[in-house]
Amino acid sequence: METKYRRRHLLRVAAAGGVAGIAGCLGDEEEEPDETPTNGGANGEEEEQVGTNGEAETLARWATHGYDAANTGHAPEAALPSGELAWEYETDGPIYSSPVVAGGTVYVSSFDDLLHAVDADTGEADWTFESGGNPRSPPAVGEGRVFFGDDDDTFYALETNGDEDWRYDGAGPFRAASKMLERRNDTLVLFGEGQFGTGVSGDRRVLQAADMDGDIEWVFRTGEHLDASPAVAGGNVYAVRHDGILYSIDAATGDQNWFHEAGGNLRSAPAVRDGQVIYAAADGNVRALSTDSDNVLWSYDAGTGVRSSPSVSSDAVYFGDESGTFHAISGEGDGLWTYEADDRIRTKPAIGDGFVAFGSEDNTVYVLDTEGEELWSYETGHSVRSSPALADGRLFIGSLDNSLYSFE
């Protein structure tokens, strides 16, 4: 039986804390690799680096939007933050993008034309990189590089010290989060382009895979906008088209496996787990497809539009809707509980050890337990479109109030 909860304002954490200053429809095969891709890529695995005391220390990673290549949004070892504000880092523009965390650094792009690298512990700027236009896409970190795109039709690969390695000049904005695709002998980065050039429809909007030198390995022409991150699992890429088409693409060749018509616009990223491709449509339907075909395994009607990308743990699927309702449903599509925020929810939830976090356009960051009870919340100065990242016992999230927040 589904249970509904109302937000309890008395648990709100008062806005307080210091401000850290800012320094500053067919796929075309071009080359077939020798190896079959794995499910990997930039993910939440731990990494070692030498600490200030000279000893190796282990740092958690949330190195891509949605935590892992499959977009599950689930970091099972992530500890619950208490809700205390550790620091607030101010930029000169609203943050529509979502932060990622790797090597003790938080990377986030802002509408001040900059990608910001921020010390995860102190909230001080390590460096900034100026792009040609407002960047919306969440960064991805892998193979010693930071990848992101901007509205000036450019996709960048930077070294982790902020130096530019290479760039790809496209014909349209890069707004979807990129993904890393690991193979036995090399690694590819996947990025989608909303190409606005002339030509036949199928040539105008593309998903492409590049190697670490920036050379394009394959191109898949979608014919429509790619606004959401692809998911990578089982040697396949799952990508959604703005007008309601979900594609399964062979990750090695870029060839189409199958496609599915959703019946409503798709503005959020799919997630893959346990043989299911789970997506949310703007018409309010959340569905699970088989990873092997476009067979619908189950469907859940949220009752209103959904632009929040679903996240999935081993036993539940979480997402928000346009009315401000946050939903938890089972892996078979049955409603478990709902929770009411005061405005629409468009962020992708982050699932930790016994809790789930998300932001709302009521300006608030929420953390609930997995039974739907509010643990804490924090009100920022504007709408929250950024999706949270969890690493090293902290929660990181941006706001349209121009700030990146860290909670411990």
What's the pLDDT tens digit per position in 127-182? Answer: 999 998 889 899 999 999 999 999 888 999 999 999 999 999 988 888 889 999 98
Determine the Cα–Cα distance for residues 320 and 327; give it in Å rounded to an integer.
6
The pLDDT tens digits of the residues spanning 315-353 come to 999 999 999 999 999 999 999 999 999 999 999 999 999
pLDDT tens digit string along 206-227?
Answer: 899 999 999 999 999 887 778 8
Q: How far apart are alpha carbons 169 and 250 in whole angstroms?
A: 25
Complete DSSP assignment for 371-408: TS-EEEEEE-SS---SPPEEETTEEEEE-TTSEEEEE-
Domains by residue range for the chain, with CATH: 3-407 (2.130.10.10)
Among candidate residues 62, 82, 60, the one with its CA nearest the CA of residue 71: 62
- 194, pLDDT greater than 80: no
Q: What is the pLDDT of residue 13?
A: 32
Strand order across the beta sheet in which 335-340 lies: 3-6, 335-340, 325-329, 317-320, 311-312
Residue found under tokens 């496996």: 257
Strand order across the 140-142 sheet: 140-142, 145-149, 154-159, 164-169
pLDDT tens digit sequence for 233-283: 999 999 999 889 999 999 999 999 999 999 889 999 999 999 999 999 999
Distances (CA, A) of 2 to 299, 301, 309, 315, 357: 16, 13, 21, 15, 20
pLDDT tier for residue 54 given thresholds of 50, 70 and 90: very low
Which pLDDT does position 23 carry in this prediction?
A: 32
**Cα(275)–Cα(281) distance, integer angstroms:** 20
pLDDT of residue 214: 96
Among 352, 355, 382, 381, which residue's Cα sits nearest to residue 370?
355
* DSSP string covering 4-65: EEE--GGGEEPP---EEPPP---EEES---SS---S-SS-S--EEEE-TTSSEEEE--B-ST
Pairing type for strands 285-290 and 296-301 reads antiparallel
Report whether pLDDT(22) > 80. no
Beta pairing class for 374-379 and 27-29: unpaired
CA 279 to each of CA 282, 300, 328, 343, 370: distance values in angstroms, whole numbers, following the listed order: 10, 11, 14, 22, 21
CA distance linking residue 238 with residue 309, whole number of Å: 14
Task: Say what the pLDDT of residue 195 is.
Answer: 55
Residue 236 backbone phi and psi in degrees, to 5: -130, 155
- Structure tokens that stand for 353 in this block: 């050890």
Tell me how far apart the alpha carbons of residues 33 and 157 are, in angstroms, rounded to a whole number. Answer: 22
φ/ψ of 233, rounded to 5, equals: -165, 140
Alpha-carbon torsion 144, 397, 2, 372, what sign?
positive
Look at residue 171 in the predicted model and tell me its pLDDT. Answer: 81
